[in-house]
Amino acid sequence: MEGDLLRLDAVDKAFGRVRVADQLTFGVREGEALGILGPNGAGKSSIFNLVTGHLTPDRGRIFYRGTEITALAPSVRCRRGIGRSFQIPHPFTGMTVFENVLVGAMFGAGMSEAAGGTYALALLGQTGLAAKANKLASALTLLDRKRLELARALSTKPQLLLLDEIAGGLTDDEAHALTETITALHRTGIAIVWIEHVVRALLRVVDRLVVVNAGAILADGVPDEVMQSRAVQEIYLGVEAA
């Protein structure tokens, strides 16, 4: 659709007989919060890898801000405004929380050390980590590792933020706290695409929901309507709809 911030156009990707993207076509608008659901192995994380350049499509094209980025390196896409978190946080464990975010600001966003330091401190405040700025990343709890993963993704100054199961493994209270942080980010106008199995957390934030199965889009629309879809209930929720 014209005007999309991100657009995937008939994207295919397979590993042998396993298809992780099957004529995948959808867009993300400026400032939109889009949720992606699907069973394990549906191709959800592969979508992020295709968007960030860690996977190359077999066929199809990917556009960002109206310009094709299908062949661009991940570092170039990052500098253009695409940031992501990973399902399993991998901080620099020998560095402090502050240093982890500073690295992203300097090398992902191209900021000077002074400007990056100021920005890193602001992000730590925004993500609830200010009091732990000088703590080694290796000493963090799971919730704080997730918060650091979010801060690291934001450190590159993305206009499009990809979140990969950032609430996974958290308690209900922890997931709720993290969701409030993501909701506040969404209010700033940043576009968010969020893959998540913690459905309650996801539905608190997203404006639109896409469900994928075997690399193909099963449903795309208003979250409440998508969750009531017979196909979604049968394939994703694993129940037989009446």
Provide the residue type at 219 as one letter: A
User: 237 — phi, psi (to 5°)?
Assistant: -80, -15
DSSP string, 20-69: EEEEEEEEE-TT-EEEEE--TTSSHHHHHHHHHTSS--SEEEEEETTEE-
> Which single residue is written with the structure tokens 């959808």?
26
Domain range 1-81+158-242, CATH architecture: 3-Layer(aba) Sandwich (3.40)
Q: Where are the domains of the chain?
A: 1-81+158-242, 89-157
CB 6 within 8 A of CB 70: no
Q: How many CB atoms lie within 10 A of CB 35?
A: 23
CB 159 within 8 A of CB 51: no
For position 78, what pLDDT does the model report? 94
For position 240, what pLDDT does the model report? 43
Query: pLDDT below 50 — which residues of the chain?
Result: 239-242
For position 90, what pLDDT does the model report? 87
Q: Is the pTM of this model over 0.85?
A: yes
Which pLDDT tens digit goes with each residue over 98-114?
999 999 999 999 999 99
For position 242, what pLDDT does the model report? 38
For position 229, what pLDDT does the model report? 86
